[in-house]
Amino acid sequence: MKIKGEYIQLNQLLKLLGWVNDGAMANDVIDNELVKVDGTIETRRRNKIKPGMSVEYNQQTVIVS
């Protein structure tokens, strides 16, 4: 997944990928510890996801570039 700029917020990335329907759902899956960043459960909704980082949710994985 290629992003423009230096980073993208985790909840925005989940929406952009189509893994969730909206921002509320993105925040909910993050709050319920269902998302991993670089293999570790992430609970920060606005965590800055930068190129080289991987995000996992619902048996899907993406590496940001």
Question: Which domain CATH number covers 14?
Answer: 3.10.290.10
- Specify if 13 maps to a domain: yes
Domain that holds residue 16: 8-63
- Please give the tally of structural domains in the chain: 1
- Specify if 37 maps to a domain: yes
- Specify if 42 maps to a domain: yes
- Specify if 40 maps to a domain: yes
Average pLDDT, the chain: 97
Question: Is there a contact between 22 and 15 (Cβ–Cβ < 8 Å)?
Answer: yes
- Specify if 2 maps to a domain: no
Backbone torsions φ then ψ of 26, nearest 5 degrees: -60, -50
Chain segment 41-63, per-residue pLDDT in tens? 999 999 999 999 999 999 999 99
| DSSP code for 32 | T
Neighbours of 52 (CB within 10 A): 9
Q: Is the pTM of this model over 0.85?
A: yes
- Specify if 1 maps to a domain: no
